[in-house]
Structure 1
């Protein structure tokens, strides 16, 4: 007996799927093959949105000196005891302090220094009286309100103590986080490398937007959708190729080095020109092909070397759904981001029932109305406008036959994160 050809056993063209993997099995495969990528240094000014490799320990204190928190007069708080509107106390003004230009001399008892916000508090002084509570004339300032020692003074390390953990490993840096890194004097910070993503579009009928096309050809919407989703999830587009249905070109693009994740749009189902699954099986590992879900049942995934390959159906809604369930999760995990969907969620009540089938996960586009959640009636996998009209989607788990009217459901909202 001849050994079985592994490619022939995975070639479902014009045969159909004999079985489909369950969604949890596909997610488990992804989670088992997506360790965080290595770290790299980036300029602090470019660090927003990136993920820290390790705890960031403050090399300096912020501030490194006692500084004024108000414009006014620096003095000894204890010397203002008893000051009031009917008993103003007078202090000699012996100088002034500005940010970056401190008052250098000694301050005698009963004296004050004019000071601006952010300026170093002179040695021996411990409080700042706001300007609105003082009146200066002829080199003397009248103080009409007492000020406690330490009041309106930012102490050394009040913001960040030297040697403390300023930011924790795994944190995705927001703009203010990157600003904090800069406040520590760090020009670079170690962050996880962004996953490099290759986008391959198949189909002889597919044309780039702006190109002339024939009456039976279509414009490539999936590329634009996927590019936006990859950027949202922290991926870095390595290349973007439209390959038609030429198996040799597809094979070369699949096997080329340089990508952490390869997304193949189209050619994942059982048609005669759906070459990607058998090519993936020949070049590497076709781990899963065919998933018990609607839409996106022809989706698949595998590996070529260290690169993960995701087969995304050509129908636009199926492509979006398969990316969100599987490829997006992988990209987020590789880049150190949370693997869950980056969509805001709300709880809402169904106005009309959602019908599903036990054993299959359903991705249902919905609108939020005054009467509750309405499933969109026209919801075919090729109708991209259904996702535009929708406010979000509801996921019906495989163990459910759907949700009846009046049921509370979780709606994932199509909003920019």
Structure 2
């Protein structure tokens, strides 16, 4: 896919945006410039949640031998025909089989052995009578139910055939997938490397939680939000740095090697101390600065060396929104996950009008009530509590003036699976 032709002003401080990119153009730029990362080898016990970079081919069959599917008695199935409560059949017991301790030798016609679940079915037997339909007395077995040949026996390769594709590349491994891999005796897997994410926090007024602060300083909420979102999307934190508003320090942090994605929190707008866009344009590529959306309109993105850089507004809701729309998509795609949002959706009816404006995308926090969907806040990008009081959000597209009462909408739910 060709890179969209976009232009971004290198310095809009104290001037404002003359134009803003459409959300669709920003997403297209991300998709065109986000690579799938290379693979790495991980131990199978560490593979849950990772994305396979190559198919898993079964080196063995599962099971590798015919095995009992339940506790009972192994015998010749055809010899049980006619057995019932009023016609019990008897067989001499000639031995037993346990998991890992098979019966040695063949079981001759007319005889049976005691067998436990998972034990190898010996030569000469082809069925298992469940224990509840049998009884023992003085070395003889009495059964009251017939079993067909092959019944209650797990056959070679019944679960997984040797040489078959057990799991396909691009699959995100669930716990049961890892268990299946372990059942094949595989100790390590090739998975997509997790994106290394550098988190840079700007703002002279920003202080770490728990530290003293002045009356006009603020605690750093964005870092905590972003750390959680990066972990959710499969990224790993390469570093977390609080830089203040010094342009030289920001430039050094942007240029340092080692990250696949760089998130810059704050300093992305048009204020005199908003250095990040100008610095990125100087030392890398500022592809987009300013997006036609609310909130997050000062968001930006570009590249430096081999890393993608996302400029996230300092207001907490704008920061969350810009990450979810743009940076998160890149982190997920790099790590082999679907780029689309991981939120569960729910269709619901609008109870109170959701207002928007043609020409921009609106990210509207909503609550789900007995009467339907109600907007919780249409403004207030600094009010992070709106996202904690909201059940989720609704997206009003750029061609829409919003949704009137009675409209059906998709609500993206904030709850985690």
Residue 415 of structure 1 aligns with which residue?
A: 415
Residue 4 of structure 1 aligns with which residue?
A: none
> Judging changes above 3 Å, is the alpha-carbon distance between structure 1 residues 335 and 8 closer, same or farther for their aligned structure 2 residues?
closer
Residue 324 of structure 1 aligns with which residue?
A: 324
Residue 153 of structure 1 aligns with which residue?
A: 153
Alpha-carbon distance in 2 for matches of 1:84, 1:179:
40
Q: Is residue 60 from structure 1 mapped to residue 98 from structure 2 by the alignment?
A: no
Residue 47 of structure 1 aligns with which residue?
A: 47
Q: Is the 8 A contact 1:295 1:363 kept in 2?
A: yes
Q: Is the 8 A contact 1:268 1:312 kept in 2?
A: yes
Q: Is the 8 A contact 2:295 2:379 kept in 1?
A: no
SS in 2 for 1:215: coil
SS in 2 for 1:24: helix
Render the CA deviation track for 1:124-170: whole Å, top value 9, x for unaligned: 20001000100101111001110111111011111101111111110
SS in 2 for 1:28: helix
TM-fit CA distance, 1:66: 0.5
TM-fit CA distance, 1:9: 4.8
Q: Is the 8 A contact 1:365 1:379 kept in 2?
A: no
**For residues 204-353 of structure 1, what are the structure 2 equivalents within 5 Å?**
204-353=204-353
Q: Is the 8 A contact 2:63 2:160 kept in 1?
A: yes
TM-fit CA distance, 1:379: 3.9
SS in 2 for 1:149: coil
Residue 394 of structure 1 aligns with which residue?
A: 394
Q: Is the 8 A contact 1:93 1:112 kept in 2?
A: yes
Alpha-carbon distance in 1 for matches of 2:20, 2:212:
39
Alpha-carbon distance in 1 for matches of 2:242, 2:282:
21
Q: Is the 8 A contact 2:8 2:286 kept in 1?
A: no
TM-score by length of 1: 0.97
**For residues 63-82 of structure 1, what are the structure 2 equivalents within 5 Å?**
63-82=63-82
Q: Is residue 110 from structure 1 mapped to residue 110 from structure 2 by the alignment?
A: yes
Residue 383 of structure 2 aligns with which residue?
A: 383
Alpha-carbon distance in 2 for matches of 1:416, 1:391:
11
> Judging changes above 3 Å, is the alpha-carbon distance between structure 1 residues 44 and 286 closer, same or farther for their aligned structure 2 residues?
same
**Number of residue equivalences:** 411
TM-score by length of 2: 0.97
Alpha-carbon distance in 1 for matches of 2:261, 2:297:
20
> Judging changes above 3 Å, is the alpha-carbon distance between structure 1 residues 377 and 265 closer, same or farther for their aligned structure 2 residues?
closer
> Judging changes above 3 Å, is the alpha-carbon distance between structure 1 residues 8 and 33 closer, same or farther for their aligned structure 2 residues?
closer
SS in 1 for 2:383: coil
Q: Is the 8 A contact 1:62 1:158 kept in 2?
A: yes
CA RMSD of superposed structures (Å): 1.1
Q: Is the 8 A contact 2:198 2:238 kept in 1?
A: yes
SS in 2 for 1:258: coil
Alpha-carbon distance in 2 for matches of 1:179, 1:247:
50
Alpha-carbon distance in 2 for matches of 1:201, 1:83:
78
Question: Which contiguous aligned blocks of 4+ residues in structure 1 show a shift greater than 4 angstroms?
Answer: none
SS in 2 for 1:376: strand
SS in 2 for 1:10: coil
Render the CA deviation track for 1:49-79: whole Å, top value 9, x for unaligned: 1111111111110000011010000111001
